[in-house]
Chains A and B, each alone.
Chain A
Amino acid sequence: MGRKVLIPIGPYHPLQEEPELFKLYCDGEIVRDVKWETGYNHRGIEKLSESKTYEQVFFLVERICGICSTSHPFAFANAVEEIAGIEPTNRAKYIRSIIGELERIHSHLLWLGLAGHFLGYNTVFMWAWKYREPILDLFEMITGNRNSYAMFRVGGVRRDIEESKISAIEKVLDEFRRKNDLLTGAVMDDPVIHARTKGVGVLTRQDIIDYCAVGPTARASGVATDVRKDDPYAAYPLVDWQVVTAEEGDVFAKTKVRLLEMNESVSIIRQCLKGLLKEKEGDIMVKVNEIPEGIGQGRAEAPRGEVFHFVVSDGSNSPARHKIRAPSYVNIATFKKSCIGQTISDATITLAAVDPCYCCTERLAVAYDFSTGEKIMNAKSLMDISVAKTAEIMKIQGKKHE
């Protein structure tokens, strides 16, 4: 083994559109070690949330992630409803599930396109994103927005799906099902895709358990973890559906799981639409007076895995503490297992295969000194670090710091 070369992926790199830095320590083409740095995009959402009312927090958490923008309000609603002991109406539950599943479809299509792009297969990229477009139009029809739907609130949803819209939704779903079969066939039967993705970035069942990985990443390795089944919420216990799993744990298995999950989502939406017809139109909200003191945990299955929200209420109109854990936060750690020993070509697609979302993942840890009770990391020390960093960069560039 010769000297290791550092191949940086990020902070600005065409592989991932978000700012992150992967350091691949390579021996020739083989990756021997991988380290990653995030923190380019920290927004302090948990702290911000404490200064907003419960109604406002929905709009805030919706903006944590642009792609799975409904999963955070979903989990937050579950958490707050647990505190207040509210049970939404069935109609609201169906509408919530419809939005959640439509989002899963558009997110998986987005990932499929990007995965194609990362493999240099730009045709898949363009096709998948074209098929995603009608789904976004559907969102616009139902919620008024293509993204960040602003549909959730404590005790229900903001907008109803009228009966007149149901046939239009079903038409789009039929069309999508056909296109998805075409896309699935194109991806599953392509020998070159097989050659590039089979046996690449394998995570065994034990790796998944060790790293607590969630979502399609875990399901592709044979771990049937899915919050929709394990801790049923919204309309998922009311409809009949299966958790899609695969055994191989490689990139191909992750693709397969996502492609089949989209079909499962279509089936869930169809059943929910049928359920809507049975419920009274307009019955979408339970009146909520105030949120009592207490703690609540909300979980929701985002397209990338389990989203977890923990809310502490002190009886006022805003959360006293709000803790969020997004699925990428645990999934990214599996790179230590899946990337080492691969070539650079395989490592890049392995990095993309968990569908990482870095802006959900950003964290800032604040430590307290127990003896003095002093914050070790406060605003001033952050400022000092920033000033020191700027001075250092200026020095490298040979400029004077003003």
Chain B
Amino acid sequence: MAVNFFYFLVFPGLLFLGVAGAFLSWFDRKVTAMVQFRKGPPVLQPFYDFFKLLLVKETILPKYGSPVIFLLAPVFAVFGATMAGVFILLPLFNITTGFRGDLLVIFYLLTIPSFSYILGSLASGNPLASVGSSREMKLILSYELTFMLVLAAVIMKCGRQFDLYSIIAAQQASSPFAASVSGVLLFIVAIFCIQAKLALVPFDMAEAETEINHGVFIEYSGAAYALIRLAKYIMLLVLPSLVAALLLGGFRLDGIHVLWSLVKVIGIVLLLTLIRNTNPRLRIKQAVNFFLVWMNLLVVIAIVLIALGY
């Protein structure tokens, strides 16, 4: 029991995820700044942001709406993101839980942040937030199917193993899945899926600062917004780690391989950052079309290739 609390709260849970995610968020901002000829923030900026929101800024409650759900939603988001992080990082750090179906649980847990944002924004009673949440809903409907298919393809590829530990073990025994034709296709699709899950440009229409003024988060301030930031930091670590585990052969914790494992996660974040800095925001209809038609097509091709043994 105590060890489970340790897993959830300290390592690889809340504390580790929050700190490491904040550093990744700094990395994302620094690279963005370099692409845009700017200097960029100092390393500790994500922490300054978080603690200022948490401790200094006033939390303003919307007058029209449900304050309880409005305030609970960020807590749900952090909780869901942390749980998903624990389930993903435990096998990555070579700790087996003996749970034979964790991939499905991870899939559900990863949707919790998005759903809590919708819940919170609808509880705020703001028209811009309602536009944002309707966009977020449409986006979820489009990318979750694709994401599910990617997971299914990976499960097929490693011989119907439903747990992350076996998937990583299978890759470390031979080669990473991304080193095959179908693996490359799956990697491309997975990158776009997590881009949408992280709500980064070109899939940031639920927040769309210049259209609907940060949409789903418009009414959040102070500590409640700090929790949303925390959930975002955590997701920025969790999702690239998941892709590293599913397709890039996971982490190895001996000697120089530690560095190689770090490079995998940072490399994926770099890729996400570059995509978000070289594209304008899509229209919601175009994003739905992108996932439902093109990305699904790629996954289906990948699944056929896997069945043929490529």
Contact = CB atoms under 8 A, between A and B. Distances in A.
A7 B212 CA distance: 8
Interface in A335-351: 343-346, 348
B281 A127 contact: no
Interface stretch (B31-39, B237-245, B294-302): B31-39
Interface in B28-49: 32, 35-38
B280 interface: yes
B205 interface: yes
B163 interface: no
A15 B208 CA distance: 10
Interface stretch (B172-180, B225-233, B246-254, B282-290): B282-290
Contact of A120 (B127, B128, B281): B281
Nearest to A196: B280
Given A126-B37, A345-B205, A14 B210 contact: yes
Nearest to B278: A123
Contacts of B38: 126
22 contacts: A6-B127, A14-B210, A14-B213, A15-B210, A29-B284, A118-B210, A119-B280, A120-B202, A121-B279, A121-B281, A122-B36, A122-B201, A123-B36, A123-B278, A124-B280, A126-B38, A190-B280, A196-B282, A343-B285, A345-B283, A345-B284, A348-B211
A346 B283 contact: yes
A383 interface: no
Interface string A109-147: 000000011111111111100100000000000000000
A141 B210 CA distance: 35
Interface string A192-214: 11011000000000000000000
Contacts of B212: 7, 344
Contacts of A172: none
Contacts of B280: 116, 119-121, 124, 190, 192-193, 196
Given A195-B282, A345-B205, A130 B131 contact: no
A345 B139 CA distance: 15
Given A29-B284, A121-B279, A13 B37 contact: no
B279 A5 contact: no
Contacts of B284: 29, 343, 345
A85 interface: no
A252 B284 CA distance: 19
Report which residue of A5, A130, A195 has the largest number of chain B beta carbons within 10 angstroms of its beta carbon. A195
Interface of B: 32, 35-38, 127-128, 130-131, 134-135, 201-202, 204-205, 208-213, 277-286
Nearest to A115: B280
What range describes how many residues of A lie at the interface? 20 to 34
B37 A344 contact: no
Given A346-B283, A348-B211, A192 B202 contact: yes
B278 A348 contact: no
A14 B213 CA distance: 7
A14 B131 CA distance: 16
Contacts of A14: 209-210, 213
A255 B27 CA distance: 33
**3 interchain residue pairs of minimum CB distance:** A120-B281, A126-B36, A119-B280
A318 B201 CA distance: 54
A345 B130 CA distance: 15
Contacts of A39: none
Contacts of A116: 280
A16 B37 CA distance: 23
A28 interface: yes
Contacts of A119: 210, 280-281
Nearest to A116: B280
Interface in A15-29: 15, 26, 28-29
Contacts of A125: 36
B211 A15 contact: yes
Nearest to B286: A195
Given A15-B211, A118-B210, A345-B211, A123 B35 contact: yes
Contacts of A127: 36-37
Report which residue of B134, B277, B279 has the largest number of chain A beta carbons within 10 angstroms of its beta carbon. B279
Contacts of B135: 29
Contacts of B211: 15, 118, 344-345, 348
Contacts of A29: 131, 134-135, 284
Contacts of B127: 5-8
A288 to B, nearest CB: 46
Report which residue of A8, A29, A130, A348 has the largest number of chain B beta carbons within 10 angstroms of its beta carbon. A29
A130 B35 CA distance: 12
Nearest to B33: A126
A15 B211 CA distance: 7
A195 B204 CA distance: 16
A28 B36 contact: no
Contacts of B279: 121, 190, 192
Report which residue of B32, B209, B211, B286 has the largest number of chain A beta carbons within 10 angstroms of its beta carbon. B211
Report which residue of B32, B134, B135, B280 has the largest number of chain A beta carbons within 10 angstroms of its beta carbon. B280
Contacts of B282: 192, 195-196
A121 B276 CA distance: 8
A15 B280 CA distance: 15
Contacts of A28: 134
A379 B208 CA distance: 42
Interface in A350-401: none
A346 B35 CA distance: 27
Contacts of A121: 201, 279-281
Nearest to A121: B280
A345 B134 contact: no
Contacts of B286: 195-196
Contacts of B37: 126-127, 130
A118 B128 CA distance: 16
A7 B128 contact: yes
A214 B233 CA distance: 47
A337 B103 CA distance: 51
